[in-house]
A and B are shown apart, each in its own frame.
Chain A
Amino acid sequence: MTTYTTVIGLEVHVQLATASKLFSPAPAAALGEPNTRVHPIDLGLPGVLPRPNAAAIALAVRAALALGGDVQRLSRFARKNYFYPDLPKGYQISQYEEPVSRGGAVPLGDGRHCRLERIHIEEDAGKLTHSDLGTLVDLNRAGVPLVEIVTEPDLRTPADAHTMLESLREILRFAGVSDCDMELGSMRCDANISLMPVGSTKFGTKVELKNLNSLKMVQRALEYEERRQAAVLSAGGRILPETRGWNDEAGESRSQRSKESAPDYRYFPDPDLPPLVLDEAFVEAQRRALGELPAPRRERYRSVHGLPAYDADVLTRDRAIGDWFEAVVAEGIDAKTASNWVMSDVLPAQRERKTPLAEFPIAPPRLAELLRLLASKALTQVSARAVFRHMLAHAGSAADAMAALGLLRIADAPTLQPLVDAALQALPEAKAAVLAGKERALDSLKGHVMRACKGRADPAVVDALLRARLDALRGQKG
C-alpha cells in the first residue's frame, strides 16, 4: 500500500482591530442591528469613493513586521470583480499583484517554521441570512478591514496546521493587530490540502476546505480530508480540484463547487486609490509600536526572572498577562511568587469574571502589597487567600481587607497586657509549673491568650509579656 505525504497551506483572514472601517468612517465592530453601522461608502451608493483608514494600514504593517514579512514600500489596491448580494460595489477592494508584504514565517514552536507567501489588505463583505422572508443582507460587516495571510505549502500534518494557527494567533494578539477570535469570526481560515506519494516532489491536486470556525475544526477537517484523499488515491481514484465545506456536526466535508472552471475576477488596480506608499519613518514607527513579541518575552522570563518553562508559557499567552505579571514584579516581589499568584489566583478569577485584565478589580500594586504582607509573615497562606478573595469582591487595599476580615495582628502591649494577666489568673497551676521551672507549661498560658483574642495576638509580644510577668513574680519570691 502506498503511503502519502500530506501538503497543507493556509489562507488566514484576520480582522484588524480598528475603530472604523477600511475605507469609511463607519464603526468597524460589526455589532448592532443589521445595516446600522454603515456609511454611504459601505452601501456602494452612486458617487462614493473609498477613504483609506491610516489606522488599518498601520495595523497591517504591524502584522507584517510581527510575522517577519518584507513590508513593501509601494503596494497597490486592486478590484476583485464579482457579483454577489453581500458585495455592495460589485467588487471587493483587495490587493493582487502588489501586496503590502511578501514573505515572513510563523514559528511552529519546535524550531520549525511555516513560511508565508504574502500578506495583503482587503475589505470584508457583508453577511447574508437565509430566512423565511427570503435572503436578508446585513452590511454592518461590509468594509471591515482584514489582512489575508497566505502561507507556503509548508505544513505536513493537520496538527501542524493547528500549531501554526495557535502560534499565529498568539503573535497577532501580542502585536495588538487583532483579537483573532475564530468563533466570532475575527480570524477565519481556509485550508488547502493535497497528498503525494512519500518521496515524491510533485504536489497532488489540492482541495480547498472552508467553513472552519475553530482551531479544532481546522484540524478535524484536515484529518478527515487526509483520510478521504488517501482512500481515493489508494483505490486508484483521482482527486478533483474543488472547494469542500466542513460540517462539524456530521464530522465530514461536502463538495461545494468545482474549481475546474475558476471564476474570472478581472482584477485591475483600483483607480480610486493611489498606490500605497509607505515611507521608512512610518514603517519604523510601527516597528516601535510592536513591542516585544511572545518568543523573546518567554526567553526573558526564563533567563532574567528564572521562571520555569511552564510559567513562561502561561504568562506569554497574552501581552496583557505578561504586562500584569511584570507590574507585580516591578513592585519588588519575587518573580516566582508573582507568577504563582498570577497563574493560580489572578487568571482563574479573571476567567470567571470574563473581563479584560485591565479591568481586574485588584491592580498589580495592590497584589504586591498583599504579597509583601505574606512575605513578612503578617499573613498565613490561608488568610492571604481570604484577603485576596475579599479584595476581589470589594476592591480596596490588603490592609482594608484584613481589617474587615479581622485579621489584623494585635502586637501592642497595652492591649495584650490585660489578656496576659487574665491567663495567669485563670491558670494558677500552669503559672506555678512555669515558676517551678517547667517551661512547657508556658504554652498553655499563651494558648489562653490566643483564644481570648481569636488568634490575632502577636506570639512574640505575648511571649515577652508573659515572661516579664513571670520574672517579676520570681523576683518577688526571691
Chain B
Amino acid sequence: MTSLWQMSAAAIASAVRAGELSAREMVTSCLDRMQRIDTGLNAILGTRAEAALQAAAAVDAARQGGHPLGPLAGVPVAWKDNLVLAGELATAGSRMLDRFRSPYSATVLERLQRAGAILIGRTNMDEFGMGSSTETSAYGPTRNPFGADLVPGGSSGGSAVAVAADLCPLAVGSDTGGSVRQPAAMCGVTGLKPTYGRVSRYGLIAYASSLDCIGGLARTAEDLALWLDASAGSDPADATSVPTQPAITPHLAARRDLRGLRVGVPWELNGPGLDAEVAAAIQNAVAQLRGLGAEIVECSLPSVAHAVPTYYLLATAEASSNLARYDGVRYGLRRDAISRCDAMMMQSRSAGFGDEVQLRILLGTFALSFGYHDQYYGQATRARALICADFARAFASCELLLSPTSPVPAFPIGSHIDDPLAMYLCDALTVPASLAGLPALSQPCGFTADGRPIGMQWMAPALREDLLLQVAHVFQANTDHHLRRPLP
C-alpha cells in the first residue's frame, strides 16, 4: 500500500476531488514527515502548520459543499524562501532578512493557492540565490537525502530535497543560472525552468532580474505540468511577463514514443570537463532515446564557451543594484551607527550579507563602474546576444537540445566552498539557457556507482514547455531513474 507521502501531486488532487482523501489528512501526513525527517536535512526553514491545516479544511469543506475544486486541490507545496507570502517570513536565506515578514504575496503563490494547493513551508536556499550548493544559506547547509555529507546542489537545494525526501510532492524554486535544474539533478528529481517571463516574478526576491525565473520541482513531469498550468500566465504586476499560453496538462500524454523527434546534442555541452560517470549516464540516456525513436543530431553552440563569464558579469551587475535596497533604513537587519546614516547603511550591509553575496555585489559594482562599464557589462550584453543567436540557429535543425544538467554529481559539503571559480563552473551547462531566456528541464537519467543521482537537461525554444514536458513524460514512462527513493 502506498503511503500518503509517496503520492504524486496528480494522484493527490484526483483523490481529494473524488473524496477518497481529505486535504487535511494529506497535509497532516506531510507535516508529520517534515517533523520526523527534516531535522537531518535542514531543507525546511519554517512551516505554517496552522494556516496550512485551515486551508486544507477549506478545501475539504468546499468538496463537501459540492463546489468545484482546483487542479491542485489538497496538494501540499513547499516554496523557496525567496518568494513572499503575506504574513509569512521571507529570508532569502540571508541574515539580512532574518525577521522580515512580507505584507503581500507573490503572484505565483497566490495562483497556486487559487488552484487548491496548500502552502506548507519555506525551503532553504543559498543566500539570495547566490550559490550552487545551498551552503551559503545563513541558516546552515541543506543535506542531500542521497548522502548526508553531500550538498543537494543549489540554490533551490531546500526545494529539491523537500521533493527528493518525499516531504511534499511539489516545491517551488527559482532558477537564475540553473538553481532549479542543478539541485534537481543532484537530488534525483525533475525540475523545470520555464521561459523567461512565463511565470510572474512579482514577489520573487530578485537576484538578477533579466535571468530570474520561477521554476517547479517534482518527482514527475506530469506534476510539473500541473504546476506550470497553475502558476504561469501574464501578470500586470510584472512588466516582463509574457502572454498566457494554452494549458499543457490536457496534452501531456500526446506522445507514446519519441518517433519524429530530432534531439540536438551540442558538443560544447557534452564534451571535456564532464565527470566520467555523468558522461556515461548521458550516453546511456541517448541510447534509450534512440530506442524510443528519437533522432539524435550533432550540433554546435560556439558562443557558449563564454556563457559562464557572461552570466557572472550580468548576474552580479544586476544583483549589485537589486540588493541595494537592503540598507537598514526601512526593514531588515540594521546596525545602528551613532553618527551617520551612511555608516549605518555600511555596517548593516556588512553584517547582514554573507561572504558570497558581498563578493558578488563587489564584482557587479565593478562591472558597472565608470571606465569599465562597456568592457565588462557592455561586452557581456553583446556575448549574450551571440549565445541567443546560437540557440536560434541550433533550433533550426532540431526540436530539443540535450546535455547533462551538471558536469558533476553531488559533491561533499565543504569541498567547493572556498573555491568560487570551481563552484561557478558547476553552472556551465545550465547558464546558456538562462542567458537565452529559454525553457529547460532536468530529469534523472542515472546514478553513479556510489548511488548519487545524475540528471540530464532538455532545452527547448521559447514557450515550448509543452514539448519539454511531453518528452520528459515519455522518458519517465520508459525508465525508472526517477522512481528511486532515498529515504523510507
Contact = CB atoms under 8 A, between A and B. Distances in A.
Given A90-B321, A90-B327, A266-B368, A46 B100 contact: yes
Contacts of A365: none
A49 B370 contact: no
A91 B324 contact: yes
A50 interface: yes
B239 A49 contact: yes
B371 to A, nearest CB: 9
A294 to B, nearest CB: 36
B330 A46 contact: no
A81 B368 contact: yes
Contacts of B92: 46
B444 interface: no
A273 B327 CA distance: 23
A361 interface: no
B240 interface: yes
Interface stretch (A37-45, A158-166, A188-196): A37-45
B330 A268 contact: no
Contacts of B204: 47
B377 interface: yes
B237 A46 contact: no
A241 interface: no
Given A50-B239, A88-B330, A45 B324 contact: no
B201 A49 contact: yes
Contact of A47 (B203, B210, B370): B203
Contacts of B317: 268
B84 interface: yes
Contacts, number: 103
A79 interface: yes
Interface residues of chain B: helix, strand, loop or mixed (majority) = loop
Given A81-B321, A83-B327, A47 B206 contact: yes
A266 B373 contact: yes
A89 B330 CA distance: 10
B209 to A, nearest CB: 4
Contacts of A46: 84, 90, 92, 97, 100, 102, 205-206, 325
B237 A49 contact: yes
B209 A90 contact: no
Contacts of A273: 239-240
Given A45-B104, A83-B327, A89-B325, A135 B203 contact: no
B202 A48 contact: yes
A272 interface: yes
A52 to B, nearest CB: 6
B318 interface: yes
B239 A271 contact: no
Contact of B202 (A44, A47, A81, A89): A47
Interface in B62-85: 82-84
Contacts of A81: 320-321, 324, 368
Contacts of B236: 51
B373 A49 contact: no
Contacts of B359: none
B290 to A, nearest CB: 40
A264 interface: yes
A51 B239 contact: yes
A47 B239 contact: no
Interface string B289-332: 00000000000000000000000000001101101110101110
B341 interface: yes
A359 B90 CA distance: 50
Q: Report which residue of B100, B325, B373 has the largest number of chain A beta carbons within 10 angstroms of its beta carbon.
A: B325
Interface string A113-139: 000000000000000000000010100
A85 interface: yes
A272 B325 contact: no
Contacts of A274: 239-240
A51 B365 contact: no
A47 B369 contact: no
A98 to B, nearest CB: 14
Interface string A76-88: 0001010101001
Contacts of A48: 104, 202-203
B321 A266 contact: yes
B275 interface: no
Interface string B191-203: 0000000000111
B106 interface: yes
B205 A47 contact: yes
A270 B317 CA distance: 11
Q: Report which residue of A50, A135, A137, A272 has the largest number of chain B beta carbons within 10 angstroms of its beta carbon.
A: A272
Given A135-B341, A266-B368, A271 B210 contact: yes
A44 B83 CA distance: 15
Nearest to B329: A85
B149 interface: no
Interface in B331-348: 331, 341-342, 345
Contacts of B321: 79, 81, 90-91, 266, 268
Interface residues of chain A: helix, strand, loop or mixed (majority) = loop
A44 B345 contact: no
B369 A264 contact: yes
B83 A268 contact: no
A267 B204 CA distance: 23
A19 to B, nearest CB: 16
Nearest to B346: A83
A89 B83 contact: no
B271 interface: no
Interface in A226-273: 264, 266-268, 270-273
Contacts of B365: 266
Contacts of A83: 324, 327, 342, 345
B238 interface: yes
A324 B286 CA distance: 80
B3 to A, nearest CB: 35
Contacts of B83: 47
A22 B327 CA distance: 23
B370 A264 contact: yes
Nearest to B83: A47
A216 B320 CA distance: 42
Nearest to A263: B370
Nearest to A80: B321
A435 to B, nearest CB: 94
A218 to B, nearest CB: 30
B103 interface: yes
B330 A44 contact: yes
Contacts of A267: 368
Nearest to A35: B330
Nearest to A46: B205
Contact of B331 (A45, A52, A135, A266): A45
B370 to A, nearest CB: 4
A421 B97 CA distance: 100
Contacts of B202: 47-49
A256 to B, nearest CB: 16
Given A271-B318, A272-B209, A52 B239 contact: yes
Contacts of A272: 206, 209, 239-240
A271 B209 contact: yes
A12 to B, nearest CB: 26
Interface string B255-289: 00000000000000000000000000000000000
B131 to A, nearest CB: 18
B102 A47 contact: yes
Sort A-B residue pairs by CB-CB distance and give the 4 closest, nearest first: A90-B324, A271-B210, A266-B368, A271-B209
Interface of A: 40, 43-52, 79, 81, 83, 85, 88-91, 135, 137, 264, 266-268, 270-274
13 contacts: A40-B103, A45-B84, A46-B100, A46-B102, A47-B84, A50-B239, A83-B324, A266-B320, A266-B365, A266-B370, A268-B377, A271-B209, A272-B206
Given A50-B239, A85-B345, A264-B369, 18 more contacts: A40-B103, A44-B325, A46-B102, A46-B205, A47-B204, A47-B205, A49-B239, A51-B237, A51-B239, A83-B345, A89-B325, A90-B327, A266-B320, A266-B321, A266-B365, A268-B368, A272-B239, A273-B240
